[in-house]
Amino acid sequence: MISLHTSPLDQPGTGDAGGMNVYVIELARRLAARGVEVDIFTRATRSTLPPVVEAGDGLVVRHIHAGPFEGLTKEELPAQLCVFAREVLRAEAAQPSGHYDAVHSHYWLSGQVGALARDRWGVPLVHSMHTMAKVKNDALALGDHPEPAARVIGEEQVVEAADMLVANTDLEAKQLINLYDADPGRVEVVHPGVDLDLFRPLDRARTRDDLGLARDAHVLLFAGRIQPLKAPDVLLRAVAVMLERDPSLRHRLVVPVVGGPSGSGLDRPEALATLARDLGLVGSPGRPDVVRFVPPVAQADLARWYAAASVVAVPSYNESFGLVAAEAQAAGTPVVAAAVGGLTTVVDDGRSGLLVDGHDPRAWADALARVVGDEALHARLEAGAVAQARRFSWEATAAQVLAVYERARTRMRESVS
Per the annotation, where are the binding residues for 1D-myo-inositol 3-phosphate?
Answer: 5, 16-21, 74, 107, 131, 151
User: How long, in residues, is the chain?
Assistant: 417
Angstrom distance (rounded) from CA 52 to CA 225: 28
* Residues in the annotated binding site for UDP-N-acetyl-alpha-D-glucosamine: 11-12, 19, 225, 230, 297, 319, 327
Helices 299-308, 323-330: inter-axial angle, 10-degree rounding: 70
CA 8 to chain centre: 12
* Residues in the annotated binding site for Mg(2+): 306, 309, 333
Collapsing DSSP to helix, strand or coil, 248 comes out as helix
Q: Are strands 59-64 and 52-56 parallel, antiparallel or unpaired?
A: antiparallel
**Tally of CB atoms within 10 A around 98:** 9
What residues does 291 pair with on adjacent strands? 255
* Residues in the annotated binding site: 5, 11-12, 16-21, 74, 107, 131, 151, 225, 230, 297, 306, 309, 319, 327, 333
Angstrom distance (rounded) from CA 225 to CA 223: 7
Q: Which residues, including other chains, have CB under 8 Å from residue 196's CB and lie 6 or more apart? A: 330, 389, 390, 393
Backbone angles phi, psi at 292, to 5 degrees: -125, 120
